Amino acid sequence: MNSPASLTAPIYRGTTFNFSLERVTYPYPVRLDCGRLVKVCSGALAPASDATREDYTGCTAIAEFLRDGNPLDVIFTLTTEEGGILLDGAWLRLKMTKAQTLALQYGEVAPAWTQCVARVTVFRPTGEAEPQYELPVLLFPWRQEP
C-alpha cells in the first residue's frame, strides 16, 4: 500500500468543480525538484519508464469531506456510485455540478465552512480499502453574473 498523496483542491461556490488526479508510483522515494521528479537519495532524474501507473479497473471510491479532518464530522461525500468520482485507468476525478457547489454553505460557523480535508478511499475488487489522497479543500465564494 502507498501513502496517501497530499494536494490542495479549491472549490469555487456556484461553479463546476472538476479535480483530476493521475496516480503513479516509483520503486524508490522521489521528490519534486524544480518541476522534475528526482530520486531522493541521489538527486538523479527519476525516469518516467520507472513509474507504474495506477490501475483503477473494477474499483469504487468514496471521498469524505471532513470538518477539521475529523472523521466523525462529515460535511458531504462524493462516490463513484453517485457519479461524484470517476475512475479511468490511472485517473481519479472528483466532480460536482454548479448546483452542488452552490448548495455548499460558505462561512466560519458550522454548518458553513471555508476549509476541510477530503479523504479519498479506493475499494479494490478484492475488497481491500486503500487510502489514496488527503486533500486540503478550500471553499471560495464566487461572484455570479446577473
Report pLDDT digits (tens) over 109-121.
989 999 999 999 9
Under the banding of pLDDT at 50, 70 and 90, the label for residue 5 is low
Any domain includes 40: no
Any domain includes 118: yes
Any domain includes 42: no
Any domain includes 131: yes
Please name every residue paired with 21 in a beta bridge, in sequence order, or none if there are none: 92
Number of domains in the chain: 1
pLDDT digits (tens, 9 = 90+) for 50-103: 999 999 999 999 999 999 888 899 999 999 999 999 999 999 999 999 999 999
Distance between CA atoms of residues 10 and 17, nearest Å: 8
Tell me the residue range of the domain where 75 lies: 5-22+57-140
Distance between CA atoms of residues 99 and 90, nearest Å: 28
Distance between CA atoms of residues 95 and 116, nearest Å: 17
Q: What is the DSSP secondary structure assignment for residue 41, as one 8-state letter?
A: T
pLDDT digits (tens, 9 = 90+) for 7-60: 789 999 999 999 999 999 999 999 989 989 999 999 999 999 999 999 999 999
Any domain includes 82: yes
Any domain includes 145: no
